Amino acid sequence: MRAIILSAQGGPEVLEYVERPDPVPGDGEVVIDVAASGVNFIDIYHRSGAYALDLPSSIGSEGAGTVSAVGPGVEGVAVGDTVAWANVIGSYAEKAVAPADRVVPVPEGVSAEVAAAAMLQGMTAHYLTHSTHEVREGDRVLIHAGAGGMGQLLIQLAKLKGAKVYTTVSTSEKEKLAREAGADEVLRYDDFVEPLRRSIDVVYDGVGKTTFDGGLEVLRPRGLMALYGAASGPVPPVDPQILNRQGSLFLTRPTLIHHIADREELLWRASDLFGWIAAGRLRISVSHRYPLAEARRAHEDLAGRRTTGKLLLIP
């Protein structure tokens, strides 16, 4: 099979397109013929060295496809099933191996490509709006980067729960996409603080360094900053007294893995997502599809913020 591997961490040039032996499932594992693999910022963090990996390593944390082999002890998953997964490294490949208890069934009415595009960002949007801060009718929510794949999902889920949604974007083209996703008000990154000062219940910030300080200024007293990413770079160390001075604010740095560690929770989040997609209540925007061999270009485009919506690699 063909796959992308890392022998070193660094820029996009370290992504190697190579031939490797077909994987064989071990105890409790399944092998999947990959239909599509999602491209995410966590992959850039793995590639760059921001997140440690034992090298050489495969890469890619999300995908969907058809089960082609099952290992000993596997129950509930069979050859021929369409499944999807997230937070299992190795999806940048023609075949992936995953623990059977980490894959979820993809229902009829949801394509494998859409499932691959929905898993990591969709379940992240789910836990942010249902667990980190359970959005309620009338909440005032600020979502940064509203035109990106993650931003569009967060906007839609917040609107499903009855929130008034504000978002930030960088261009008129991206403003159009954010409004199509359902945003009530769209602002620019350099002009969101004054219109929103001390009025927002929760800020969902996946941008990080360039938006964090302004996000604290727009929160109401006892509001919540949910910092779930760092697309513009990591946030410098924070003096907790800032949270006091700004109104007894709450700050959290959540991540998906701790919100799907239990299989029941994993199935709950995935089932909700696929149900909304099948019913037409949640739209997954796939903006770019790249051949697997062009993983470097996909990383360059994502890091350069030249894209909107979801990016997929197609083996």
Residues 203 and 222 both lie in one domain: yes
Q: State how many domains the chain has.
A: 2
Asked if the structure places residue 234 within a domain, the reply is yes
Give pLDDT, residue 149. Answer: 87
Q: How far is CA 245 from CA 85, 198, 253, in A?
A: 42, 12, 20
**Which residues are 104's β-sheet partners?**
84
Distance (Å, whole) CA 305 – CA 310: 12
Domain membership of residue 48 as a residue range: 2-120+260-313
Both 147 and 240 in one domain: the answer is: yes
End-to-end CA distance of the chain: 10
CATH code (residue 249): 3.40.50.720
- Shared domain for 83 and 137, answered yes or no, is no
Q: Does one domain contain both 138 and 248?
A: yes
What is this structure's pTM?
A: 0.93
242 and 137 within one domain: yes
- The half-sphere exposure of 256 on its side-chain side, counting CA atoms within 13 A, is 23
Does 126 reside within a domain?
no
**263, amino acid identity:** R
pLDDT of 163 reads 98
The interaxial angle of helices 295-303 and 41-48, nearest 10 deg, is 110
Give the chain's count of helices (H) and strands (E). 9, 16
Walking along the chain (315 residues) 10 residues at a time, the average pLDDT comes out as: 97 97 97 97 94 94 98 97 97 98 97 97 97 98 94 97 97 95 97 97 97 98 96 93 97 97 97 97 93 97 84 97
Which of these three, 253, 283, 304, is where a domain ends?
Answer: 253
- The three-class DSSP label of residue 127 is helix
Which among 49, 44, 81, 48 is positioned nearest to 60, based on CA atoms? 44
- Asked whether residue 196 falls in the same domain as residue 298, the answer is no
Q: At what angle do helices 172-181 and 149-160 cross, to 10 degrees?
A: 30
